[in-house]
Structure 1
Amino acid sequence: LVHVRPDLAEAVTMTVFLVTYFGLAVGHWFFLQLDRTGIALLGGIAMLALGCLTLPQAVDSVNMQSILLLFALMVIASQLHYAGFYGWVTHRVLQPLLDRPAIFLGVLIALGGLLSAFLNNDVVVLAVAPIVASALLKKRINPVPFLIALALSSNIGCALTLIGNAQNVLVGEMGKIPFGGYMLFAALPVVLSLLVCYGVVYLLGRKSFALSSDEAALPVPVDEMPFNRWRSIKGVGVLVILVALFVFTGLPRYLVAMTGAGLLLCSHMLPSRNVLNKVNWQLLVLFIGLFVVVGAFVDSGLSQDMLAFFTSHGINVNNPVQLAVISGVLSNCINNSATVMLLVKVVDLTNPMNCYA
């Protein structure tokens, strides 16, 4: 369409962009069975099919360093899943504290935050939550406040490092932020947020810790992998080496992580197919689709029009405080991946404070 009517280029690009982001905000498109990944992929296809950008431009718009780093981290998290590492850590750390719910809550928050800082927080919650719920119900303790605390702490803890979540990976790679410098900056707000998390959950939930006599403690199905010491040592060892290289060297993070993931795939007992099955391919496709959609939006010049509109209304996206507010609001209204994908294309990432915000 754009090839035939070049005068419609901006209008078509804006329409596809808005329709895509609307779908990401509501999570579906009316009667169609499309989730956010499908919507982002379809948006990218539409940008190509309608001529909003060429195939070489679409390829150039995808930040492959971010995609490869995300993929490698998912492989490491998957390998530790098959090693039974998450269940083993949860049992060893939390099992002795079941008779002291207040301490159990604090340690659970610390554990969830720490694991999520270096591993995929979705994997951590999916692995830890059933074990925690099952153990608490056997003691007739209400698991709900503890599961809420786990969800909160995993989201807080993943902000500690540049590999804690997909958004941090994207900002870290595109902003070229030093790994150690970011950790030092994020440590205090993350620790304070975890303390607030403990205080709020404890104060609001302590009266409901114990199940009442008429509440049934239904069993929770736990699909727990058996613990494999060698796989766990190998997985944790690779992760520790990666983090050390991230902190103390200037080697490309995606290349270091891909090398580590490749080493973990070399196993005489664990099929690589199993490890790769646990990779979150949906998230990777979502990111690729968004890269193309946002790339077309930026190449068309519409992003500059958007910045000019914001500026005329007193909004400066390159002010870290305002940027933090904008990012927080849009992440909750639309989708955090879509928000970060758009902002990293229009914000001045040479200012480290913008990246931190």
Structure 2
Amino acid sequence: MALISTIAAIVFICTYLFIAVNKTPWFEIKRSYIALIGASLMIIVGAISFTDAIDSVNMDVIMLLLGMMLLVAGLEYTGFFTLLSNLMVKQSSSKRKMLAIVMLISAILSAVALNDAAVLILTPIVIRCCQKADADPIPFLVGLMMSANIGSISTAVGNPQNAYVLSVSGMDFITFSLYSIPISIVCILLTYAILLLIFRKSLYSKYGYHIDVHENERPVAKKQMYLMITVMICTFVGFLCSGIGGYRICVVSMVSGAISLLIIASSEPRYTIWAIKHVDWHVLLFFIGLFVLIGGASNTGLISDLSSSFPGFREGDSLSITSLSIFTVVLSNIVSNVPAVMLITEMITDPTTMMLIALAASSTLAGNTTLIGSVANIIVAERSENYGIRIDFFKFMLVGIVVTVVTIAAMILMINLMFN
């Protein structure tokens, strides 16, 4: 058993290291594949049985994410985001107002759908707005990333780590949102003020790029779009009523996803495959791999050994919100926020609602520190490069550190006021 535990520890540590540095001069491998390889090795070395591995996968989280991804695909198919793009262009009468609109729409869309999906859709829209307004896109793209991360704090479906925290916390959708929405609002206002200060000159620079950004715009199908908007509204009513009705929100999400596919199929059956391809299967595989990996680490006692190595996480220790938040920010920027949250949740011996809200919020705010701090940031950076727009890693980090320090401090203060 000692040998199995040692091998499992090596597998666990190596997997997390490769998740942290998935790109080297010699190879590049997706994090989802790394997580699945680590999970497979846990089963092979006997750290967890195949049956226990299947049981360790939290299907509530997988179903919730899958349903929301299909809902977003349905909205995109009907041209909802094309309409949104046109609205943003019309309303952007000044650069300050334009930044505010970009951040507001990004935050709201990230709260009602996954932040990764939101930035995937909004990046070309924001670049198009900048082109129309003859504005430097960098401040607006930075605002897009940061507001998507902050906005996603608001609800359990805003990002994957929130979905996981809700699944293990016992909280209902409304309770989670009541604590999280005020944090999100305050942090988005602070971030907007910081970006206005830092980009006070470049905000008024010229566009300077000569690339067509009207790529793959979906034509607006009004009838189907109204149906999809109705589905989206009903989905969130279902989420809000889940605490009263006693049903799981993943069921609501999957029903919404199925209806979205039905709406697409009834209009153009061939686009059903298009919608399925729009699901981020890598995110789902990443979660499945991490569930099994952490299950194996827990079975062999590795999680309890890790917990005893850090002050505040040992049984009987008093874990403060400040120390939890700082530890979460550091770990999230090493291995990314999803695996960090899953690991820290297992390390906390007596997780309270206050701790879990702080964990979810701090891991999300941590994503604003560096360009690789969250998947949403990476999506914006990579999509922008397709248009010849490069966001400098170190310049972003200088802005990100300021935003993260200020918003984490505000979050800690607000949580202490809420619970004390």
1:171-182 equivalences in 2 (<5 Å):
171-182=165-176
More divergent stretch after superposition (303-312 vs 102-111): 303-312
Task: Verify the 8 A CA contact 1:87 1:128 in the aligned structure 2.
Answer: no
Gaps of 5+ in 1: 1-5
Q: Distance in 2 between matches of 1:349 and 1:255?
A: 28
Q: Per the alignment, do residues 216 and 233 of structure 1 end up closer, same or farther by CA in structure 2, a change over 3 Å counting?
A: closer
Q: Distance in 2 between matches of 1:84 and 1:348?
A: 47
State which structure, 1 or 2, has the greater radius of gyration over its C-alpha atoms.
1
- Compute the displacement of 1:126 (Å): 2.0
Q: Aligned ranges for residues 1-357 of structure 1 at < 5 Å?
A: 6-28=1-23, 31-92=26-87, 94-211=88-205, 215=208, 217-249=210-242, 250-266=246-262, 267-270=265-268, 271-311=271-311, 316=317, 318-348=319-349, 351-357=352-358
- Is 2:173–2:239's contact at 8 Å kept on the other side of the alignment? yes
CA distance in 2, matches of 1:356, 1:101: 34
CA distance in structure 1 between the partners assigned to 2:260 and 2:313 by the alignment: 52
Contact kept in structure 2, 1:28 and 1:36, CA below 8 Å: no
SS in 1 for 2:308: helix
**Letter in structure 2 aligned against 1:268:** S
Q: CA deviation at 1:318?
A: 4.7
Q: d(CA) in 2 for partners of 1:204 and 1:28?
A: 31
Residue identity in the other structure for 1:251: Y
1:134·1:222 contact (CA, 8 Å) conserved in 2? no
Distance 1:216 1:157 in 2: 29
- Using the TM superposition, give the Cα deviation of residue 208 of structure 1 relative to its aligned residue in structure 2, in angstroms: 1.9
Root mean square deviation of aligned Cα? 2.2
Q: Structure 1's 117 and 313: CA in aligned 2 closer, same or farther, altered over 3 A?
A: closer
Shift of 1:187: 1.7
8 A Cα contact 2:68 2:113, kept in partner? yes
In structure 2, relative to structure 1, the CA distance for the partners of 1:209 and 1:217 (3 Å cut) is farther
Contact 2:235 2:256 in 1 (8 A): yes
Q: Tell me the amino acid that sits aligned with residue 53 of structure 2.
A: A
Which residue of 1 is the match for residue 365 of structure 2?
Answer: none
**Residue 319 to residue 209, structure 1, CA distance change in 2 (3 Å):** closer
Q: 1:232 to 1:347 in 2, by over 3 A?
A: farther
The alpha-carbon distance between structure 1 residues 355 and 348, as it changes in their structure 2 partners (threshold 3 A), is farther
* Contact 2:69 2:117 (C-alpha < 8 Å) held by counterparts: no
| Code of the aligned partner of 2:273 | R
* Residues 175 and 349 in structure 1, CA contact (< 8 A), matched pair in contact too: no
Structure 2 unmatched ranges of 5 or more: 359-420
**Could you tell me how far 1:255 is from its partner in structure 2?**
1.2
Q: Distance in 1 between matches of 2:325 and 2:93?
A: 41
- 2:219 maps to a residue whose letter is P
Question: How far has the Cα of 1:336 moved from its partner?
Answer: 0.9
Q: CA deviation at 1:75?
A: 0.8
- What is the one-letter code of the residue matched to 2:258? G
Q: Please tell me the residue identity of whatever aligns with 2:202.
A: S
Between 288-297 and 311-320, the greater mean CA deviation after superposition: 311-320
Structure 1 residues 317 and 10, CA gap change in structure 2 (3 angstroms): farther
1:42-91 per-position Cα deviation (integer Å, ceiling 9, x unaligned): 10111111222110111111111111111111111111111121221232
Counterparts of 2:186 and 2:291, CA distance in 1? 34
Identity of aligned residues (%): 28
Question: Partner letter of residue 255 of structure 1?
Answer: V
1:31/1:207 CA distance change after superposition, 3 Å: closer
Secondary structure of 2:267's match?
coil
Question: If the length of structure 1 is used for normalisation, what is the TM-score?
Answer: 0.91
Deviation at 1:323, TM superposition (A): 2.0
Q: Deviations over 1:236-288 (max 9, x none)?
A: 22222122122223311111211121122113124321111100000100110
In 2, the alpha carbon distance for the partners of 1:120 and 1:313 equals 30
Please report the TM-score for the alignment, with normalisation by the length of structure 2. Answer: 0.78
CA offsets 1:307-338 (integer angstroms, 9 cap, x no match): 22224898958543322222111111111111
